[in-house]
Amino acid sequence: MVINRYIKVAPVSQTIQNKREQFVEKQLDYDSVSNKLSQQGVIVDAAEVHGILCGMLCGGMSLTDQKWLEALSETINQGDAFSDPTQHLLNSLFNQTCQQLLEPEFALNLLLPDDQAPINDRGAALINWVQGFMLGFGLHQQDLMQCSDDVKEALEDFSDISRMEEPMDADEESEKALLEVEEYVKISAILCFSELGQSLLDDQQDTPSVH
């Protein structure tokens, strides 16, 4: 399977799996976010929106930069202003994403369908997430010369993953492969954030109330 080419991390450890379960209750889920966006006339799924937000943050966007909502409007809503319910939803998702990126030990959870969804639906959502990440990343980090070789390699792999179209069989091997690619994407996003997104941590520390 083509998807196996992108497995560059060890199988998911129990620590990472436990961390994922720890955040499940706090996390906005894929179906509810996608449904709410659809009800408000925003025809993109939750994975793509979350990918764009993560891409902007991992590309170096500051936590205090409030232009992300305008950028999101341009990319997913034809430049039209979001309704109040949609803006509230997106703000909640943005805050959740910031919190997870600032947490240690791989706290980031990709907003994807749950494990009960058909495997090809989950694979398509992962591709949407990666495409969104690359879009958001490009909005804030256009000079790749300053990036490490690891970040450059991850972005090259993301580009390949975003173009994958091969259907997957609903078997144990495919399930394992998809999960490991998902973990690789997550860890690669965290790598990008740790290298380029430090302004977020600086914003957390340098608040006016500190002194």
CA 86 to CA 67: how far, in whole Å? 16
What pLDDT does residue 111 have?
96
At residue 22, the pLDDT reads 43
Identify the DSSP state of 130: H
Model confidence at 211, in pLDDT bands (50, 70, 90)? very low
Residue 177 is assigned to a structural domain of this protein: yes
Residue range 126-145: average pLDDT? 90
> Is the pTM value of this prediction over 0.75?
yes
Asked if the structure places residue 40 within a domain, the reply is yes
Kindly tell me if the per-residue pLDDT of 166 is higher than 60. Answer: yes
Q: What is the pLDDT of the chain when averaged over all its residues?
A: 83
Please give the Cα distance from 124 to 130 (Å, whole number).
10
What is residue 16's predicted lDDT score, i.e. its pLDDT?
A: 40
Q: What is the DSSP letter of 3?
A: G
Question: Residue 5 falls within a domain, yes or no?
Answer: no
- Write out the residue range of the structural domain in which residue 52 sits: 12-197
Q: Is 84 exposed, middle or buried (0-12, 13-18, 19+ CB in 10 A)?
A: exposed
pLDDT value at residue 1: 43
DSSP3 helix / strand / coil % (the chain, rounded to 5) = 65, 0, 35
**Quick one: pLDDT band at residue 202, thresholds 50, 70, 90?**
low
Q: Is residue 76 part of a domain?
A: yes
Q: Is residue 64 classed exposed, middle or buried when 0-12, 13-18 and 19+ CB atoms within 10 A define those classes?
A: exposed
CA distance 65 to 72: 13
- 209 within domain boundaries: no
Residue with tokens 């379960």: 21
For residue 30, the domain's CATH number is 1.20.120.740
The answer to the question of residue 187 being in a domain is yes
Does residue 25 register a pLDDT over 70?
no
Residue 28 lies in a domain: yes
Query: pLDDT grade, residue 55 (50/70/90)?
Result: very high
pLDDT at 146: 81
Q: What are the start-end ranges of the H helices in 63-162?
A: 68-76, 84-102, 119-140, 149-162
Q: Which of 18-22, 45-49, 67-71, 160-164 has the lowest mean pLDDT?
A: 18-22
Structural domain count of the chain: 1
Are 127 and 164 in contact by the 8 Å Cβ rule? The answer is yes
Question: Of all residues in the chain, what percent carry a pLDDT higher than 90?
Answer: 61
**Contacts (Cβ under 8 Å, ≥6 apart) of 170:** 118, 119
Position 108 in a domain: yes
